[in-house]
Amino acid sequence: MTKNSATPIQTLLSQEPVNQTHTIRGWIRSVRNSKKFSFLVVNDGSCQGSVQVIADATLVNYEAIAAMRIGFCVEIEGLLVVSGGRQGGVELQAGKVDILGEAPEDYPLQKKATSLEFLREIAHLRPRTNTFGAIFRVRNRLNYATHQFFVDRGFVQLHSPIVTGADAEGAGEMFQVTTLDLKNPPKTDKGEVDFTRDYFGHSSNLTVSGQLNAEAYALALGKVYTFGPTFRAENSNTPRHLAEFWMVEPEVAFADLEDIAQLATDYLKYLIQSALDHCREDLLFLQSLYKDDLLETLEHVASSDFKKISYTEAIEILQKADKKFEFAPDWGKDLQTEHERYLTETHFQLPVIVTDYPKDIKAFYMKQNPDKKTVGAMDILVPGVGEIMGGSQREESLEKLTVRMEEMGMNLEELSWYLDLRKYGSCTHAGFGLGFERAVMYVTGMANIRDVIAFPRTPNNCSF
Ligand code: ATP
Ligand code: MN
């Protein structure tokens, strides 16, 4: 053992106590003093569990130890022994307690229950709670599982650009990137801001999706995926929208809508299974506080077939429903969250894949169906979250794509490189985008997306 090594508490808790000395480092969760001992509960974030440490009054700095409070940072060396407590397990008999960092009495995380709303205001300290420890260990597992899933299937990860000159959806809601002096920007003859003088020689934005770039690489490497930050300046102050979120976007050459729906289903089930296999303790903890049926639901979904219906069928189901919706379901209009949730939570009680949406409510690049009214799109809806992913088969015909873009009044010049992909060696291809935080919400059972990303960015909030 090097001087600098400590045993993670996760490892410690699974050890047989056979006269071994261990060093741990972590943060005090509680201190209880009796006449001859102090009982310290220490957590280091390696797992949900904490370890109990017995500090004997004979220790040289016992007075300082007994005066510690929640939040202190400590390094403790001790002997691992069978716990004397009712719960069994192991505990550490301290030989040495070093106080690394003190925490005054105003430490904001006191033992008494703290609300998720309050914890959002102290986003820098909330990872020290059991709840956030659990969420972020699950998030980490889903991150790892994502790479495992795609790499095992022969995908190549593409690091797509963050700053872009184009808008993938052909619509607004982007954050502009500029180095122009906003107090005194250069102007054109017409008096408009002259973006030819901006850093890139034209205006640029933060990306809303890596898809268009991913298509270029899919039509060369076959199967690619992007996994990166995505920015949307939409003014959606909802529990499911962030201004900055992470998106996983696979893109597959020679795949059609059915193939990509299958890939999306397999991926979602893989994520769930991976969390069930590796994060059971954290999921059980989250279940006990936030969602009674979390594990049951995840286990059910991991072993069920998803329902697949067309948008047209979805509208029929919604129109026949007993429920009174705020917005009446109407063919041609986008599904509202209340509609999505009815389908997945009430009607099917399973994830639902909705396909073939009206072309006018979907993006320009989606495969035009022979009916001339719908496109080969698919959204996956899950209980508690609503839309978790959106994807489509892409229009591979240069002519059809050009006509559609002209119809929508788009700038063909700007996307000429994208049209080239149809001009040179075009083929059937398809992909989807999964909002990573929506997946973390779904697997952890958390109801607000602000609680599954470390430092959420939402309208009027970019602190930390
Ligand atoms: P929504 O209707 O929920 O706003 P969208 O139709 O705008 O979603 P897409 O453009 O299809 O979403 O993006 C792909 C995925 O990215 C969505 O299925 C969702 O999981 C996720 N997503 C989209 N916008 C956000 C956001 N603002 N915050 C977090 N995740 C998002
Ligand atoms: Mn949106």
Residue type, 228: G
- pLDDT for 165: 86
Q: How far apart are the first and last CA of the chain?
A: 37
- pLDDT for 388: 95
| Four-residue CA torsion sign, 285, 291, 293, 295 | negative
* 78-to-90, 93, 369 alpha-carbon distances in Å: 12, 5, 69
- pLDDT for 86: 74
What single-letter DSSP state applies at residue 213? Answer: H
* Protein residue whose Cα sits closest to atom 5 of ligand 1: 390
Beta bridge partners of 352: 307, 381
Rg (CA), the chain: 27
Tell me, using a 6 A CB cutoff, whether residue 387 lines ligand 1: yes
Closest of 40, 93, 91, 96 to residue 68, by C-alpha? 40
Ligand 1 centre and the CA of 389: distance in Å? Answer: 7
- pLDDT for 231: 96
- Write out the two tokens for 350: 């399973």
- pLDDT for 169: 53
Please tell me if the domain spanning 9-101 has the same topology as the one spanning 128-173+208-451.
no
Closest of 118, 443, 441 to residue 275, by C-alpha? 443
Pocket test for ligand 1, best of 173, 334, 387, 392 (most atoms within 8 A of CB): 387
Ligand 1 centre and the CA of 119: distance in Å? Answer: 25
Q: Where are the domains of the chain?
A: 9-101, 128-173+208-451
Q: Which ligand is nearest to the CA of 387?
A: 1
Tell me, using a 6 A CB cutoff, whether residue 242 lines ligand 1: yes
Give me the phi and psi of 378, to 5 degrees please. -145, 135
Class level of CATH domain 9-101:
mainly beta
- Write out the two tokens for 63: 């007075």
- pLDDT for 172: 59
- pLDDT for 16: 86
- Rounded to the nearest integer, the mean pLDDT of the chain is 94
User: What are the contacts of 276-279 at 24+ separation with CB within 8 A?
Assistant: 276/302, 278/141, 279/134, 279/137, 279/138, 279/141
Tell me, using a 6 A CB cutoff, whether residue 141 lines ligand 1: no
> What are the residue ranges in the chain where pLDDT is below 50?
170
Pocket test for ligand 1, best of 438, 448, 458 (most atoms within 8 A of CB): 438
CATH of 128-173+208-451, one of 3.30.420.40, 3.40.50.300, 3.30.930.10, 1.10.10.10: 3.30.930.10
Tell me, using a 6 A CB cutoff, whether residue 245 lines ligand 1: yes
Tell me, using a 6 A CB cutoff, whether residue 42 lines ligand 1: no
pLDDT digits (tens, 9 = 90+) for 441-463: 999 999 999 999 999 999 999 99
pLDDT digits (tens, 9 = 90+) for 8-24: 999 999 988 888 999 99
pTM of this structure: 0.95
List Cβ neighbours of 33 (8 Å cut-off, separation of 6 or more).
39, 66
Atom of ligand 1 nearest to the CA of 389: 18
Q: How many CB atoms lie within 10 A of CB 411?
A: 11
For 65-129, list the strands marked E by DSSP: 73-82, 90-101
The C-alpha atoms of residue 462 and residue 464 are separated, in whole angstroms, by 7
Atom of ligand 1 nearest to the CA of 387: 18
- Write out the two tokens for 430: 């398809």
* Protein residue whose Cα sits closest to atom 31 of ligand 1: 435
Tell me, using a 6 A CB cutoff, whether residue 391 lines ligand 1: no
C-alpha 156, offset from chain centre: 21
